[in-house]
Amino acid sequence: MTAETTAPGAAAVNAIEVRGLRKAFGDLEVLRGIDFSVARGEVVCVIGPSGSGKSTLLRCVNLLEEPSAGRVTVAGTEVTDPDVDIDRVRRRIGMVFQAFNLFPHLSALENLTIAQRRVLGRDRAEAERIARANLERVGLSDKEAAYPAQLSGGQQQRVAIARALSMEPELMLFDEPTSALDPELVGDVLAVMRGLAQDGMTMLVVTHEMSFAREVADRVVFMDGGVIVEEGTPEQVVGAPQHERTRTFLARVLDPAAAEVGEVAGGGAAGRRVDR
């Protein structure tokens, strides 16, 4: 945070800047013109029904999905520029997946060191020092020798967060990080994410955890049908939604009885876990 922040105009550069983003899979248009941005140090939660394009939006930020049109800029680097070295940009963007995606053939510690060593060129001692510090940060110091199969879902997801942190990213993307977890394991993962937010990490979180969004997010974005329907502070969007679609979605997610009814339309994951 030295050269970059002191560079002229750097303070004005958003962590993520998305303009006119469109993404189609064949005939299916998943994103239909998205404009939005995330400021440095901001925590933005993206909510919305399944199939609304939230995950695709997230995956377009680090180019796991190639946008069909539009521009995505991450910390001043346009990732949609055909000449960009995307591997170099991705080092600066941590990503946490719904299915954890830990490397099953490597121990927890090796999961955290492999990219540090092979991508950043850190030597083993330094990589392990950083890895251990991050395992401690997520409360799993005692699990460094464990393989992913020996860990619970919640522990795996915390290792996955530590793995992303070990690259010392400028921002973190979370793609429904708690949706694959048993309800009693969700809390530990959210606690780690809350800690990250407090430490000033820039975070873009696709989630169904309304309590987390309300408590931690600086801004909530509601998406439906491939467009942003409304965005604002959690109080505005979750507390007093302006749009009918937002109200319908929130009613389904927040009210268990309605969630049962709305299961088909609102998507299974949205209705599965209700958290006030």
Candidate residues 14, 103, 255, 258; the one interacting with another protein per rule CB under 8 A: 103
Candidate residues 87, 184, 199, 244; the one interacting with another protein per rule CB under 8 A: 87
From the list 37-45, 96-104, 131-139, 232-240, the region that binds another protein by CB under 8 A is 96-104
From the list 49-57, 89-97, 210-218, 222-230, the region that binds another protein by CB under 8 A is 89-97
Is residue 203 within 8 Å of residue 196, measured between CB atoms? yes
Task: Extract the runs of DSSP E, i.e. beta strands, from 149-236.
Answer: 171-175, 202-206, 219-224, 227-232
Nearest approach, Cβ of residue 235 and another protein (Å): 32
Any contact of residue 97 with another protein (CB under 8 A)? Answer: yes
Residues 223-242 close enough to bind another protein by CB under 8 A: none
Candidate residues 25, 81, 118, 265; the one interacting with another protein per rule CB under 8 A: 118
Any contact of residue 84 with another protein (CB under 8 A)? Answer: no
Task: Give the tokens for residue 274.
Answer: 């209700």
Any contact of residue 95 with another protein (CB under 8 A)? Answer: yes
Distance CA 225, CA 75 (A): 28
Any contact of residue 23 with another protein (CB under 8 A)? Answer: no
Residues 139-198 close enough to bind another protein by CB under 8 A: 149, 160, 163-164, 167
Instruction: Give the residue with the Cβ less far from another protein, 87 or 244.
Output: 87
Candidate residues 30, 45, 60, 102; the one interacting with another protein per rule CB under 8 A: 102
- With H, G, I as helix, E, B as strand and everything else as coil, classify residue 15: coil
Distance CA 241, CA 250 (A): 9
Give me the sign of the Cα torsion angle 188, 191, 195, 197.
positive
Taking Cα atoms as reference points, which of 212, 265, 213, 268 lies closest to residue 241? 213
Reported as type and span, the H/E element at residue 268 is: helix 268-272
- With H, G, I as helix, E, B as strand and everything else as coil, classify residue 56: helix
Report phi then psi at 228, rounded to 5.
-80, 120
Q: What is the Rg, in whole angstroms, of the alpha carbon atoms belonging to the chain? A: 19
Residues 54-73 close enough to bind another protein by CB under 8 A: 62, 64
Residues lying near another protein in the complex (CB under 8 A) are found at 62, 64, 87-88, 90-91, 93-95, 97, 99, 101-105, 114-115, 118-120, 149, 160, 163-164, 167
